[in-house]
Amino acid sequence: MPDIFNFTPEMETYFSTLPVYVQENIKQSNQKINSLEDLRAVSEKLMERK
């Protein structure tokens, strides 16, 4: 599970703008998210699937 408690302020802001289903998928994933770029890449892939 990504450590959403260690997100930077920019990552938190971006995360909060994502649809709820994307946020939940990210929370439940085993994705390694260490940067805003990682977060964007993961969220974009999840939104492409919908």
| Model pLDDT, residue 32 | 87
pLDDT in tens, the chain (50 residues): 677 678 999 999 999 999 999 999 999 988 889 999 999 999 999 999 76
| Model pLDDT, residue 30 | 84
Q: What is the pTM of this model?
A: 0.84
User: What are the residue ranges of helices labelled H in 1-50?
Assistant: 9-17, 20-28, 36-49
Amino acid identity of residue 48, one-letter, is E
Long-range contacts of 8-14, Cβ-Cβ distance < 8 Å, separation of 24 or more: 8/36, 10/36, 11/35, 11/36, 11/39, 14/39, 14/40, 14/43
| Model pLDDT, residue 1 | 64
